[in-house]
Amino acid sequence: MEEKIPVREQIQLTPFGPEDKSKLVLYLNDPIIYRNTLLIPSPYTEADAEWWIGKTQENFELYGRTYNWAIRHVEHGLIGGTSVFIRTGLEGHLDEIGYWLAEPFRGQGIVTDVVKVLCNWLFEIRPALVRIEAKVHSYNPASARVLEKAGFEREGLLRKATIKNGELIDTILMAKIRPGLE
């Protein structure tokens, strides 16, 4: 049975698959997504999409469940993605998340809902997990607002912590602590 996490009536999280290759190439060639993420290459090619789909399968095999999720709309299919970076192991206390959303679907609160649901799911399935982090380029206040609406708190500014295109970028550190342990 394929894993699914319902987010809204029309939005769910599911694993990536080969059928997503063309939309990955279409959406991830958006210069805004490239600017606001750290690891997505530009230009984004079919080979990049094939590598990513393979990597998500490797991660599934390594961890025994999905941690790289496609954000799917019931009518439009793949519209974005979100990933969990297992920072301290499956029994560890700390993970990090990242996300992207295709341009036609921005500004509708989708990512905020995705982040809320994903964090709740993580805290539910991982009893030792205490902290979920997200790092945001300082020039991307919209992403910081998404995280704040999803219950994250700004913990600080990591000066010159990220390098993108050879440029040092300040990074906002956001975190959500397991409810009851705040």
Compute the average pLDDT of residues 90-114: 97
Give me the residue label for tokens 């390594």. 62
The domains found in the chain, sorted by start residue, are 5-131 (3.40.630.30)
Residue 182: predicted pLDDT: 78
C-alpha gyration radius of the chain: 16
168 membership: H or E segment, kind and range: strand 167-177
Q: What is the pLDDT of residues 145-163, one digit of tens each?
A: 999 999 999 999 999 999 9
**DSSP of 58-104:** HHHHHHSS--EEEEEETTTEEEEEEEEEESS-TTSSEEEEEEEE-GG
Q: ∠ CA(177), CA(73), CA(7), 5° rounding?
A: 30
**Structure token digits, residue 165:** 């295109």
Q: What is the pLDDT of residues 28-58, one digit of tens each?
A: 999 999 999 999 999 999 999 999 999 999 9
Q: What is the pLDDT of residues 63-81, one digit of tens each?
A: 999 999 999 999 999 999 9
The mean predicted confidence, pLDDT, of the chain is 97
List CB contacts of 103: < 8 A, sequence separation 6 or more: 27, 30, 32
Residue 1: predicted pLDDT: 47
Tell me: pLDDT of 17 over 70: yes
**pTM exceeding the 0.85 threshold for the entire prediction:** yes
Compute the average pLDDT of residues 6-13: 98
